[in-house]
């Protein structure tokens, strides 16, 4: 590889927080590492996002056991990325749910994503030898579905493309709380390498329309209170727009990927340089924005070979 990713040098342990964001609702966060969510129903527990390995998933389970002994019945995966799904086996849940589009992406690029993320995020793959293989859902849906944990209804929804084409959010109506996956981040960079910039803003506004009391974002601290939720949505939209608009201008005049990189750094560094995983995300974000601005709607699959090509183009 021509250049190491910023995340490859990030080997320090992160401090875990387990934050109550509603009655029976919790956000498992770790200083910008991938978050998980917990929904406690009358008779069982639903987990949102499974972490990258069974060993990391056990940390979520330990937090769950600090507040309830109810069995874990459901795991919901907001999208297909390896750091979100490969720990699913640890929960021994009877149901593993993702959108039909997300499942199709596991078929198309699940192994390639695992291989590439394993190289990019070595710290997140502690205990990788215990991963039994790709995570496959037991249940898929298109549009929306509801799960009842006793009397508690949980709505699992596709509100639009953003971080990936198959993104799902999980809404708990009785508390008006949402688990957004990587559609929304809190003081963390958005990874847009498999994203859809033109749709992302509309998807954020669809989330805003719920007038939520709290959200558990994909990365970063839990966001509690309507003003804080709206601020997180605003910052996420600013990040996405500030990445795509400079690239679109460069692409429109036939400029190079390196020119797009310089334009994004000039726009984004002053506002977002202190965000978690910012340096890691930036090259993938610029590459995907450049593709989309040139009319490539379906994100290309990331491989080690493509990473090398990207770095060469960025340095050229």
* Predicted pLDDT at 256: 96
138 contacts 96 by C-beta, under 8 angstroms: yes
The pLDDT > 90 percentage for the chain reads 90
Considering the chain, what is the average pLDDT of its residues? 95
* Predicted pLDDT at 311: 84
* Predicted pLDDT at 315: 80
pLDDT tens digit sequence for 208-225:
999 999 999 999 999 999
* Predicted pLDDT at 302: 95
Domains of the chain: 4-223 (3.60.15.10)
Q: Mention every residue, 6+ apart, whose C-beta is less than 8 A from residue 205.
A: none
What would the 3-class secondary structure string for the chain be? CCCCCHHHHCCCCCCCEEEEEECCEEEEEECCEEEEEEEECCCCEEEECCCCCHHHHHHHHHHHHCCCCCCEEEEECCCCCHHHHCCHHHHCCCEEEEEHHHHHHHHHHHHHHHHHHHHHCHHHHCCHHHCCCCCCCCEEECCEEEEEECCEEEEEECCCCCCCCCCCEEEECCCCEEEEECCCCCCECCCCCCCCHHHHHHHHHHHHCCCCCEEEECCCCCEECHHHHHHHHHHHHHHHHHHHHHHHHHHHCCCCHHHHHHHHHHHHHHHHCCCECHHHHHHHHHHHHHHHHCCCCCCCCCCHHHHHHHHHHHHC
Q: Mention every residue, 6+ apart, whose C-beta is less than 8 A from residue 235.
A: 186, 187
- Taking the C-alpha atoms of residue 142 and residue 98, their distance in angstroms, rounded to an integer, is 9
Global pTM reads: 0.96
* Predicted pLDDT at 1: 38
Sign of CA dihedral 200, 207, 279, 1: negative
* Predicted pLDDT at 2: 44
pLDDT tens digit sequence for 232-280:
999 999 999 999 999 999 999 999 999 999 999 999 999 999 999 999 9
Q: Which of 111, 93, 117 lies closest to 38, judged by CA? A: 93
Q: Which of 156, 161, 159, 162 lies closest to 185, judged by CA? A: 162
Tens digit of pLDDT per residue, the chain (316 long)? 345 554 445 556 889 999 999 999 999 999 999 999 999 999 999 999 999 999 999 999 999 999 999 999 999 999 999 999 999 999 999 999 999 999 999 999 999 999 999 988 888 998 999 999 999 999 999 999 999 999 999 999 999 999 999 999 999 999 999 999 999 999 999 999 999 999 999 999 999 999 999 999 999 999 999 999 999 999 999 999 999 999 999 999 999 999 999 999 999 999 999 999 999 999 999 999 999 999 999 999 999 889 888 988 888 6
């Amino acid at each position: 590889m021509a250049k190491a990713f910023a995340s490859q040098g990030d080997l320090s342990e992160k401090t875990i927080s387990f934050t109550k964001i509603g009655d029976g609702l919790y956000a498992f966060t770790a200083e910008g590492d991938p978050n998980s969510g917990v929904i406690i129903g009358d008779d069982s527990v639903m987990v949102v996002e499974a972490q990258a390995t069974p060993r990391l998933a056990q940390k979520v389970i330990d937090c769950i056991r600090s507040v309830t002994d109810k069995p874990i019945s459901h795991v919901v995966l907001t999208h297909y990325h390896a750091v979100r799904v490969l720990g699913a086996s640890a929960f021994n849940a009877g149901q593993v749910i993702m959108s039909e589009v997300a499942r199709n992406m596991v078929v198309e690029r699940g192994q390639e994503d695992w291989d590439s993320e394993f190289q990019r995020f070595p710290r997140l793959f502690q205990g990788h030898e215990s991963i039994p293989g790709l995570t496959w859902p037991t249940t898929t849906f298109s549009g929306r579905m509801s799960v009842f944990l006793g009397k508690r209804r949980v709505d699992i929804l596709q509100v639009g493309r953003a971080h990936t084409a198959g993104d799902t959010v999980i809404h708990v109506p009785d508390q008006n709380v949402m688990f957004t996956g990587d559609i929304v981040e809190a003081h963390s960079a958005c990874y847009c390498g498999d994203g859809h910039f033109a749709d992302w803003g509309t998807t954020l506004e669809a989330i805003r329309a719920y007038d939520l009391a709290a959200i558990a974002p994909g990365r970063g601290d839990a966001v509690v209170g309507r003003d804080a939720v709206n601020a997180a949505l605003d910052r996420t939209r600013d990040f996405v727009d500030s990445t795509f608009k400079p690239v679109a201008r460069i692409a429109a005049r036939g400029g190079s990927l390196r020119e797009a990189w310089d334009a994004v750094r000039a726009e984004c560094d002053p506002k977002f340089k202190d965000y978690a995983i910012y340096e890691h995300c930036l090259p993938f974000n610029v590459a995907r924005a450049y593709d989309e601005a040139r009319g490539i709607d379906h994100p290309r699959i990331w491989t080690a070979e493509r990473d090398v090509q990207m770095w060469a183009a960025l340095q050229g």
